[in-house]
Structure 1
Amino acid sequence: MSDTSPPRRGRGRPPKTARAPEGTRGMLVRAGVELLTEKGFSSTRVDDVLNATGISKGSFYACFDSKQAFGRILIESYASHFNARIDRCLGDGTLPPLRRLLNFVHDARDGMQRHAFRRGCLIGNLGHEVDILPESFNVLLCAILNGWERRVTDCLLEVYGTTPDHGQKQLCAQLARYFWIGWEGAVLRARVEHGPAALDLFATFFFAQAATLLGVASPDPGGTIPPVSPEPPARVKTDPAAG
């Protein structure tokens, strides 16, 4: 008669649950993206990622050769996810182009609000560290930003139908660049203030100006323009010797 009882476990800690390599890698990437959207690359240590996931350092380096290699994967993963969000909003051909772009703004705003405005744009965060990041990161960040600009440009060009002229193409490209420069600044300010006022203010003025330049109706951004309390003018100290 064969013994079918389970093998006896020796003394010591119970074995850890085995993880498939893809599962371990996915957990590390998700945790890394979350940390980088809050802290940036230079302030995020490998140990921070390990503490957030419970994964061992050996398993980390089995998936990634270095922190730099890990960082590149995080940038690419974030960009892929963000590209899908942009494409979902801008690809809705049932809506006018500016309305689609405004829907992206609302979607991104809602995403920041879900995390109490603690998380920003990973690409924008890394832009503030560009002087201390590997050069390969800078090339990758520029390529991603250019891709976002092309998406918005292509969307805005639909205002003119299938045959926009050179001037119209140039205007849409400039508006797309202007949008992303302003949007990334608004995201940073929203994180500093822990609220949506900067995002709403940017949206109000950008869409009004873009509609005027494109010759279309401006979509209603919703809400009201957040009040801005003017700072008192700085007191200028005069030099007594200057008379």
Structure 2
Amino acid sequence: MKPSEPSKRASPATRARGRPPKNEASHGETRASLIRAGVAILTEKGYSSVGLDEILSSVSVPKGSFYYYFESKAAFGHALIDAYADYFARKLDHWLTNEARAPLQRLKDFIEDAKEGMARHGFRRGCLVGNLGQEMGALPEPFRAQLVAVLADWQMRTARCLRQAQQEQYLAGDADCERLAAFFWIGWEGAVLRAKLEHSAEPLDTFADGFFSALSAHSHRRPASSV
């Protein structure tokens, strides 16, 4: 993410112009707005190619105020990853813990929701974590461990859903749910990248078809409608 580069940058402690209001609630709301704007923009564009000015102007925050809300660009990046991770964990839990649906159907429901979300934004937006992973060579090194931890969390939630499918005999007892979950996220992130590139849901469908075909090798014989 490209920083704003005024000719003479004052330190946060001495900068007067653009000082945010002292009200703590207002400060928190503005910080949250910056995070929401940053997440939205970085799901479309690369961290290295986006300037702070673009994010600040999208929420009408003066250029000089940024460092009242975040210590640095890197701190802002960490906050964006945390916010996206929290949002996505809630999304996964919404779909993957839905007891009204069979476990494998929950995963299909998540995929359909993701397809609809990408289509709604014209396939311009992808996965913030996947986007940053593609840029890792140009990002601050501490981002690496944070991104790996987020993917591991998503994988864990998916494995938990697959283990429930196993317990309910939709998957064979010898199926390696952790490995299948890892396979899902490795492939899914690639499918999202390809869908964004092609402006099409076809890569998502192709991956989903392949994944569930692979699962069939580990499945017990159950009525198709139960899956």
SS of 1:214's equivalent in the other structure is: coil
- Identity across matched positions, percent: 46
**Does the alignment pair 1:189 with 2:183?**
no
* Mapped partners of 1:217, 1:72: distance in 2: 44
* Displacement after TM superposition at 1:218 (Å): 8.5
Alignment of 1:29 with 2:30, yes or no, is no
Describe the superposition over 1:50-79 as per-residue Cα deviations: whole angstroms up to 9, x where unpaired: 121210123211000111100000000001
Q: Which residue of 1 aligns with 2:48?
A: 42
Contact 1:37 1:120 (8 Å CA) reproduced: yes
Spell out, residue by residue over 1:149-206, the C-alpha distance to the aligned partner (whole angstroms, 9 max, x if none): 11111110112329xxxx73x6111110110011001100101111111111111121
Aligned partner letter, 1:182: G
Counterpart in the other structure of 1:110: 116
Q: After superposition, give the CA deviation of every residue in 1:73-113 in whole Å (9 maximum; x if it has no partner).
A: 00000010000000000001222211011111111111111
In the superposition, relative to structure 1, how do residues 116 and 219 fare at CA in structure 2: closer, same or farther (>3 Å)? Answer: farther
Instruction: Give the counterpart of 1:204 among 209, 212, 217.
Output: 209
Cα pair 1:208 1:218 within 8 Å, conserved: no
| Highest RCO, 1 vs 2 (Cα 8 Å, sep ≥ 6) | 2
Stretches of structure 2 that go unaligned for 5 or more consecutive residues are 1-18
Distance 1:17 1:61 in 2: 10
| Number of equivalent positions | 202
User: Residue 28 of structure 1: CA displacement?
Assistant: 0.6
For residues 28 and 124 of structure 1, do their structure 2 counterparts lie closer, same or farther at Cα, with a shift above 3 Å needed? same
Higher Rg of the two aligned structures: 1
**TM-score (normalised: structure 2):** 0.82
CA offsets 1:98-154 (integer angstroms, 9 cap, x no match):
101111111111111110000000000001011111121000000000011111111
The runs of 5 or more residues in structure 1 that have no matched partner are: 1-15, 221-243
**Whole-Å separation in 1 of the counterparts to 2:219 and 2:122:** 35
State the Cα RMSD in Å: 2.3
Corresponding letter in the other structure for 1:48: E
Q: State whether structure 2 residue 105 is matched by structure 1 residue 89.
A: no
Correspondence for 2:127: 121
